[in-house]
Structure 1
């Protein structure tokens, strides 16, 4: 029987340093991740933690500033690897595939920040590598996305006031449409943890 793994992506303090954090799509993210982690551990699944770093940039993802660490309340157990990536997906710049191969993992569940960016990209790459991917949408979080023509210097208020801004809810919906039936099975935390009986959507 193949082993399963949960990969928790970029649930780190870096994001809480940005003013847009207050407008995130999922205030319950940490609690939802905690539920997935507890369920994975109870089943004997591997839990892998992934952090994103941008060394030398001076931004919130620069390890020198001290924010490249898990959000308070999340803590790896003994033997659970923590990998640091510098690309959007969790495979390219880490040894994640090696870790999974050595553990005999073929089924991969993903969660974290941001829904349509690092979590989705990891899902797509994982599917292409042959893993059976499960995307747990309500254990992800994202933010409103400004239109490409809006200046990078735009404030959060300007982003939110711009009618061209894609809402976080729309981002989540579009991500599910893009992944389901192609790259992953879309499931909820309740479904994954067995909190209620329901079929997979995807």
Structure 2
């Protein structure tokens, strides 16, 4: 079965926001890089996805210059780089067409944010019939403020609010929701063989 690694939204846009200081995995680029290296070595297709909000004037607006891969990551020749405007990587792109044309039956998902674009992509991929591997330690997320909290809160105010959903709980909830239903949960070490080397 042909495989593809989907790298979701590992882009500079996120690092430009104040909330990045609260991110669960500031070294995500390194973790993703390990998966990319292993995928390429195994002959798997690597597909890069970037989130865009054209005309928004935000860091997700292509005109901002921040809608690009985080420094240290780059697509190799022939690796698709897709731009999406929905949370999942399928609805507003030709991702499924690319997977079909390459005979892909299994996808591995990593990226930003764990519970949002990554989890949503995993759920849809599963419903479309793909075998899904979700690499939680190669994803990242940020605390989620309570729905009634003011939007202009500082990161410190977000953390101080007892109603804020912390990153550990977000990640745990995503794993519980996906495992056994939509995806198999794996680690970077398991997929790259680092665990065996370290042992």
Whether TM-score is above 0.5 comes out as yes
Q: Which residue of 2 aligns with 1:122?
A: 121
Gap runs ≥5 in structure 2? none
Instruction: List per-residue Cα deviations over 1:59-115 (Å, max 9, x = no partner).
Output: 110001110000000010110000000000000000000000000000000000000
Q: Which residue of 2 aligns with 1:94?
A: 93
Question: Secondary structure at the residue paired with 1:175?
Answer: helix
Q: How does 1:25-174 map to 2 (within 5 A)?
A: 25-174=24-173
Report deviation, 1:196. 2.0
Question: Secondary structure at the residue paired with 2:194?
Answer: coil
Report deviation, 1:155. 1.9
CA distance in 2, matches of 1:27, 1:128: 31
Question: Secondary structure at the residue paired with 1:196?
Answer: helix
Once structures 1 and 2 are overlaid, which stretch shifts more, 83-92 or 164-173?
Answer: 164-173
Q: Which residue of 2 aligns with 1:182?
A: 181
CA distance in 2, matches of 1:65, 1:147: 28
Report deviation, 1:28. 2.1
Indicate if the aligned counterparts of 2:22 and 2:155 stay in contact, CA closer than 8 A: no
Indicate if the aligned counterparts of 2:134 and 2:183 stay in contact, CA closer than 8 A: yes
Report deviation, 1:18. 0.4
Indicate if the aligned counterparts of 2:87 and 2:120 stay in contact, CA closer than 8 A: yes
Question: Secondary structure at the residue paired with 1:106?
Answer: strand
Report deviation, 1:27. 2.2
Q: Does 1:17 align with 2:23?
A: no
Q: Which residue of 1 aligns with 2:7?
A: 8
* Cα RMSD for the two superposed structures: 0.7
Gap runs ≥5 in structure 1? 198-202
Indicate if the aligned counterparts of 2:115 and 2:174 stay in contact, CA closer than 8 A: yes
Q: Which residue of 2 aligns with 1:200?
A: none
CA distance in 2, matches of 1:26, 1:53: 22
CA distance in 2, matches of 1:65, 1:56: 10
CA distance in 1, matches of 2:76, 2:171: 30
Question: Secondary structure at the residue paired with 1:134?
Answer: strand
Question: Secondary structure at the residue paired with 2:195?
Answer: coil
TM-score, normalised relative to structure 2: 0.97
TM-score, normalised relative to structure 1: 0.96
